[in-house]
Structure 1
Amino acid sequence: MDNLPVFCWNHWRWLQALTGFFLGLFAAISVEAQPVKPGQVAIEITTTTGSKPTPVRVRLTQQGRVVKRLPTEAIGVMYGLWDHADGFGFQPDSSFYVDGRFRLALPPGTYQLSLSKGPEFIDQQHQLVVRSGQTQRKAFRLARWIDMAARGWYSTDGHIHIRRSPREDPLLMNWLQAEDVRVGVLLRMGDFWETYYPQYAYGEKGVYRRDNYLLVSGQEDPRTPEIGHALGYGASDKVRFSKEYYHYDTVFDKLHELGGLAGYAHHAETFHGYRGLTLDGLRDKVDVLEILQYCVDANPLRTEHYYHLLDLGFPVTATAGSDFPWCGQDHDHGSPEHSARIGNARFYVFTEKPLTNQSWKEGLKAGHTVVTSGPMLDFRVNNARPGDRFDVKKHTKLVISATAFGHSKQVPLERIELVGHGKVLASVTKNQPGQSVNQLTIKLNLDTLTHGIWLAVRCFAGSQQAAHTTPIYVTVDGSGFHNPETADRYLKLSESYLREIEQELEKESSNPEFQLWHYKKGLKTRIAETREVIEGLKKRLK
């Protein structure tokens, strides 16, 4: 009994400690149970030359992972492969477009914000630290490293697949402006069975304009696996002859009649486009060839079939296009985050007039184009521009100037080449005196010409970045600009492509995708006409 007070005292202290432990535990649980309030980011983007918010492309990540939260200001338009609803607000790489402002609630943490506005603007990356219950306001200004429109050159994505009605026009215009694409050509796509990505109007009726930007309609149709995919630009209406589907020239003739241009997509490489290019190109049906795109190879610039026609004396205008939403730099269409992107491959059209649908078409018809996935080019021969043609006397001095423009971080130039008849006549690299990753220049006087020549400039820069001009065509004393050295080889190659078509005509297939053999009579007639052209070229090009 003597120890009872001690026992009671120790027991009391133990109860106090136990009670304190549970009270602390309950308090901790109570704190953890309280929801963490999200923070807010309020972002505004302008350019260094303007005070109004500007459309931009935005990508938000955290520790390298995309943040799958879309602000209400995100501009969504339905898009997808085969005209399916595969995407809306997010782009294929999980970026999104906004009209210069957005607000987003995010859990507390550190985020990475990427802003871009096409290759003429310098991309920006910023770190955002979001704190619970707080609003963080940020204003960013995007700067150009070059302004091609100020020089009279207007960027064009000649290959976009998105259906549209007048209701979508303002939304799609925001997409174009966010990539600084001055002219977006939306193509109705077709195959033997069906058409996809409908456009509500063509020609001037299908033009939507805002500021100095245009939406216009065109077509990628016919499209077959045996002779390639055809392009139509600038016609006053769509053209499709279902009962003569493999007779591309009937479509091309009608497009020309309607004031348009015609040619081939995908470098004329995929879907055996070189066969159709030979069949129609040698009969003067082809105006344009898409020579830069991310659909075929990691190297977006492919010129094998382009130089084929040029060396045989056929002027063809170089074009380019993204083939959105099909083609990206990763070539992985099965990935939910592949890099298909409007304007990733584009061409520039020169016009001295204010930009309109008509002035753009005139520049395109004149061949005043440069294709690019990054570098910008200025090319002159005796002050002539790409697409120009002029005649000189033998040994007349040609004053040649070619300049490539780049950006040390975004478009680091590697080399520039002057190409004549497919050969490199002069080359300059970034390591030579007076040259840099920002600018490369070739100055050359050529006075040894005894025969006509086509001259072009091409440039290579950072990863998968290249550019190429349409040629300047120089004739001497009225001669052609063809290449006598390669004429025989290219004519034999042309004949081999015609034989490929003939071999396909003998393959009666049960596969509904392959319908060429049904058109044997009409195609044999066209092959015979092309052979007549080849025989005439053999005599003339000697």
Structure 2
Amino acid sequence: MIQQGWRTFLVKVHNQAGVTAPLTAESPNAAPIYQRSRNSPEPESTVPESEIIHRFLEIAVYNKPPLKENLSGLELEYRILQLYSRDAGKREAILAFNVGQGTQDIGFRNQVPILFHCAPAVEVELKILDFDGTPTIAALTIRDGFGRIYPSPGRRLAPDFFFHDQIYRYHDESVFLPPGSYTVEYSRGPEYRIMSKTVTIPEAKLYSESFKLDRWIHVAAEGWRSGDHHIHAAGCSHYESPTQGVLPQDMMRHILGEDINVGCVLSWGPCWYYQKQFFEGKVNDLSTDDYVMRYDVEVSGFPSSHAGHLSLLRLAEDDYVADAEGQVVDRIEEWPSWDLPVLQWAKKQGAVTGFSHSGWGLQVSGNELPNYNMPPFNGIGANEYIVDVVHGVVDFISTVDTPSVWELSIWYHTLNCGFRTRISGETDFPCIYGERVGLGRVYVKMPVGALDYDVWVDGLRDGRSYVGDGRSHLLDFVVEGTHVGEKGPSGVISQLNLDEPGKVTVNARVAALLDEIPNPLLRDRPLSQKPYWHIERARIGDSRKVPVELVVNGQPIDRQEIVADGTIVPVQFNLSIERSSWICLRILPSSHTNPVFVIVDEQAVRASRRSAAWCVEAVEVCWKQKVDKIRENERDAARRAYDMAKEAYQQIEEVSAVE
């Protein structure tokens, strides 16, 4: 055998019984080296670390044409057995064969121990260079001519994730490969092009290969720092054994490998009691001037989860305080059973708060925005948001990781009622998306210099940002001199004041990158199917153009088409504002700005009576779905909070002059 590679063996089958079942090969040395998470906050270890050294093998019976899956029934035939070794050196493996029920264990006569010599693979030293020639890190997907992935995912432990094709390697790090020819795809997040290279590894002890990355846009150099506020180090696709999730250094490697300036690692229900040790109330020490990682909390797997999962950023304390005396709860089950008390607790300590994977439970038919169909409010997205926004404790709702219409519709409705919640972008890695971190992103405008997390998360809260898939960018969105998320002449963040109705000019710098050849299988997929946000879905026909839409009070009133070749181009819109309104730009469903609010004659935004009526009904629909899971001793307070929200929307409906 050979280290980190496959070898093929011929198995002689004496089939005196004339069996026509498949021949199965097994080995205790090929047993799994991990137990995927089952979402327990305190999982028991089922894969002892002491066993991992013995589980070095992968095993497969080749049964593709010209061979058949089943034995032929002939008295003598041959099958092809493929074996993969993680390790080098002399290794003993037990091989066992059976042909189905009743033949797996016949006094151990179906198994044999074999001592293999596993030749060492070639140590391939990787020279990873950024677009400017500086050493960096990259994601590399390595395949042989049969399409097999290296290193084999089934024998991976952190920092390489078994549910990934790619690995992440820094400049001068190595990967072990058997001699042969491989195709390597390499990149570093959506701001880089995906490159491909064929490499031939010779018979040698050490070999070197270089990879030069190709960046199509450098948004950080434009002053916009990317972030993914919702990634996990445990639960979902992660394993719970041999360790309860992965470590901070593993997560930092993946954050850097996808070029995410800010990665928020949220501890949550699965492996909660182990992972919470990494919460520090500050940025992690692995952070640099350009890349920051911070551990915080997603309230998921907690009693309030049914009302909507919460992303709590910049917490000073991660244990809920139950009363005015400062009594800290020790167990998950002691937390509140609805969201508002949790949000209030987080806001008191200066946290930035929002709802996760907003679209779950808010599914509606149709692709219109805003959508006036009533969702069931039966999920774990921004459900109780319809109540909590009225109480002033929700800074943002999350986007990009659920269907865009489901996410944005409730946000548009509340903006039309005059509330000023912002949006952020997230991946919910590795739950909704396990492919990589940073599939959903938020880009925050930042001052020059070292990245300050507090400034960044304040920008997220204030809406000094846009969200998206990283394949299109809406830079420097300005309405008549007022920059999104910044104080203008009014002294209020994102607010332009007009004494009377009038004309305003909207400016931005926009870029997008589409493949030259359309992908109709992706483009024509329903918006309710993954990937929920992707620039291909915005393509105009078979062209390489996408529309930049000007949105006022939820309605697209103008658009310009740009060529999505990666070039940053200016766009400008001129419009008349008749009444207080909110304005955004979007390339749907790929990117979306936060709003600038234009206030006419000091009047609050009351953009749609129909939106307000929708919100009134939504409060009651939400209550009916959630009430049974709210503890009885908390229901009176919850009902009062819901009633306050309903009354607020009713008052807004009464004074809204526009249908």
Higher deviation after alignment, 519-528 or 250-259: 519-528
- Which residue of structure 2 aligns with residue 457 of structure 1? 585
What one-letter code is carried by the residue in structure 2 that aligns with 1:451? R
The separation in 2 between residues aligned to 1:68 and 1:246, in whole angstroms, is 45
- Which residue of structure 2 aligns with residue 48 of structure 1? 131
- Change in Cα spacing, 1:245 to 1:259, as seen in structure 2 (3 Å) is same
- Change in Cα spacing, 1:196 to 1:278, as seen in structure 2 (3 Å) is farther
Q: Tell me whether 1:445 sits opposite 2:574 in the alignment.
A: yes
Q: Tell me whether 1:57 sits opposite 2:139 in the alignment.
A: yes
SS of 1:538's equivalent in the other structure is helix
- Which residue of structure 1 aligns with residue 624 of structure 2? 503
What one-letter code is carried by the residue in structure 2 that aligns with 1:248? D
What one-letter code is carried by the residue in structure 2 that aligns with 1:141? K
TM-score (norm 1): 0.77
- Change in Cα spacing, 1:301 to 1:202, as seen in structure 2 (3 Å) is farther
Alignment of 1:141-220 (within 5 A): 141-162=212-233, 168-190=247-269, 197-204=275-282, 208-220=286-298
SS of 2:189's equivalent in the other structure is coil
Given the alignment, which residue of 330, 336, 342 partners 2:437? 342
SS of 1:101's equivalent in the other structure is coil
The separation in 2 between residues aligned to 1:408 and 1:38, in whole angstroms, is 39
Given the alignment, which residue of 415, 426, 429 partners 1:324? 429
SS of 2:383's equivalent in the other structure is helix
SS of 2:358's equivalent in the other structure is helix
The separation in 2 between residues aligned to 1:35 and 1:532, in whole angstroms, is 73
CA contact (8 A) 1:183 1:215 kept: yes
What one-letter code is carried by the residue in structure 2 that aligns with 1:352? P
Give the superposition deviation at 1:284. 2.1
The separation in 2 between residues aligned to 1:179 and 1:419, in whole angstroms, is 31
- Change in Cα spacing, 1:319 to 1:179, as seen in structure 2 (3 Å) is same
Q: Tell me whether 1:536 sits opposite 2:651 in the alignment.
A: yes
Alignment of 1:375-394 (within 5 A): 375-378=472-475, 379-387=477-485, 388-394=494-500
Given the alignment, which residue of 343, 352, 357 partners 2:453? 357
The separation in 2 between residues aligned to 1:196 and 1:282, in whole angstroms, is 35
- Change in Cα spacing, 1:472 to 1:502, as seen in structure 2 (3 Å) is closer
CA contact (8 A) 1:407 1:413 kept: no
What one-letter code is carried by the residue in structure 1 that aligns with 2:422? T
CA contact (8 A) 2:279 2:296 kept: no
SS of 2:391's equivalent in the other structure is coil
What one-letter code is carried by the residue in structure 2 that aligns with 1:184? G
1:29-76 Cα shifts (integer Å, max 9, x gaps): xxxxx999965643211113243x3111111012362324269xx996
Give the superposition deviation at 1:504. 3.5
Alignment of 1:104-119 (within 5 A): 104-119=175-190
Q: Tell me whether 1:371 sits opposite 2:450 in the alignment.
A: no
1:413-468 Cα shifts (integer Å, max 9, x gaps): 5221111111112112347xxx867456531222x2221111111114xxxx6011
Give the superposition deviation at 1:364. 2.0
Give the superposition deviation at 1:516. 5.8
What one-letter code is carried by the residue in structure 1 that aligns with 2:472? P
- Which residue of structure 2 aligns with residue 23 of structure 1? none
Q: Tell me whether 1:402 sits opposite 2:500 in the alignment.
A: no
CA contact (8 A) 2:424 2:441 kept: yes
CA contact (8 A) 1:75 1:97 kept: no
The separation in 1 between residues aligned to 2:212 and 2:299, in whole angstroms, is 41
- Change in Cα spacing, 1:505 to 1:156, as seen in structure 2 (3 Å) is closer
Q: Tell me whether 1:250 sits opposite 2:347 in the alignment.
A: no
Give the superposition deviation at 1:265. 1.1
Give the superposition deviation at 1:384. 2.3
SS of 2:384's equivalent in the other structure is helix
- Which residue of structure 2 aligns with residue 474 of structure 1? 598
SS of 2:548's equivalent in the other structure is strand
The separation in 2 between residues aligned to 1:406 and 1:148, in whole angstroms, is 12
- Change in Cα spacing, 1:204 to 1:400, as seen in structure 2 (3 Å) is same
- Which residue of structure 2 aligns with residue 419 of structure 1? 551
Higher deviation after alignment, 347-356 or 174-183: 347-356
SS of 1:115's equivalent in the other structure is strand
- Which residue of structure 1 aligns with residue 316 of structure 2? 236
Given the alignment, which residue of 188, 209, 219 partners 1:138? 209
The separation in 2 between residues aligned to 1:272 and 1:176, in whole angstroms, is 26
1:69-122 Cα shifts (integer Å, max 9, x gaps): 269xx9964xxxxxxxxxx52352221111123434434432110111111222
- Which residue of structure 2 aligns with residue 494 of structure 1? 615
CA contact (8 A) 1:292 1:301 kept: no
Give the superposition deviation at 1:348. 0.8
CA contact (8 A) 1:454 1:482 kept: no
1:242-275 Cα shifts (integer Å, max 9, x gaps): 5452232222122111111212111243425343
What one-letter code is carried by the residue in structure 1 that aligns with 2:387? L
Looking at secondary structure, tell me which structure has more helix per residue.
1
1:184-218 Cα shifts (integer Å, max 9, x gaps): 01112149x97674253343365652231111122
- Which residue of structure 2 aligns with residue 83 of structure 1? none
TM-score (norm 2): 0.64
CA contact (8 A) 1:190 1:196 kept: no
Give the superposition deviation at 1:225. 5.5
Aligned-pair identity (%): 20
Give the superposition deviation at 1:309. 1.2
- Change in Cα spacing, 1:497 to 1:396, as seen in structure 2 (3 Å) is closer
Give the superposition deviation at 1:324. 0.9
- Which residue of structure 1 aligns with residue 59 of structure 2? none
- Which residue of structure 2 aligns with residue 332 of structure 1? none
1:334-374 Cα shifts (integer Å, max 9, x gaps): xxxxx431111110111225321221133223210111102
What one-letter code is carried by the residue in structure 2 that aligns with 1:531? K
- Change in Cα spacing, 1:413 to 1:230, as seen in structure 2 (3 Å) is farther
SS of 1:204's equivalent in the other structure is coil
The separation in 1 between residues aligned to 2:335 and 2:126, in whole angstroms, is 54
Given the alignment, which residue of 59, 66, 82 partners 2:148? 66
What one-letter code is carried by the residue in structure 2 that aligns with 1:376? H
- Change in Cα spacing, 1:468 to 1:301, as seen in structure 2 (3 Å) is farther
What one-letter code is carried by the residue in structure 1 that aligns with 2:646? R
- Which residue of structure 2 aligns with residue 264 of structure 1? 355
Aligned length: 464
CA contact (8 A) 2:396 2:424 kept: yes
Give the superposition deviation at 1:404. 2.2
SS of 1:273's equivalent in the other structure is coil
CA RMSD, aligned part only? 3.3
Give the superposition deviation at 1:233. 1.3
Higher deviation after alignment, 175-184 or 59-68: 59-68
The separation in 1 between residues aligned to 2:222 and 2:557, in whole angstroms, is 27
What one-letter code is carried by the residue in structure 1 that aligns with 2:454? Q
Given the alignment, which residue of 630, 636, 640 partners 1:525? 640
What one-letter code is carried by the residue in structure 2 that aligns with 1:445? N
Give the superposition deviation at 1:157. 0.6
The separation in 1 between residues aligned to 2:359 and 2:634, in whole angstroms, is 21
Alignment of 1:306-325 (within 5 A): 306-325=411-430
1:390-420 Cα shifts (integer Å, max 9, x gaps): 2112244312113321235496652211111
Alignment of 1:76-91 (within 5 A): 77=158, 88-90=159-161
The separation in 2 between residues aligned to 1:269 and 1:152, in whole angstroms, is 33
Alignment of 1:275-286 (within 5 A): 275-286=383-394
Structure 2: runs of 5 or more not aligned: 1-116, 235-242, 323-332, 362-378, 486-493, 517-534, 536-543
Higher deviation after alignment, 167-176 or 398-407: 167-176
What one-letter code is carried by the residue in structure 1 that aligns with 2:397? L
- Change in Cα spacing, 1:451 to 1:202, as seen in structure 2 (3 Å) is farther
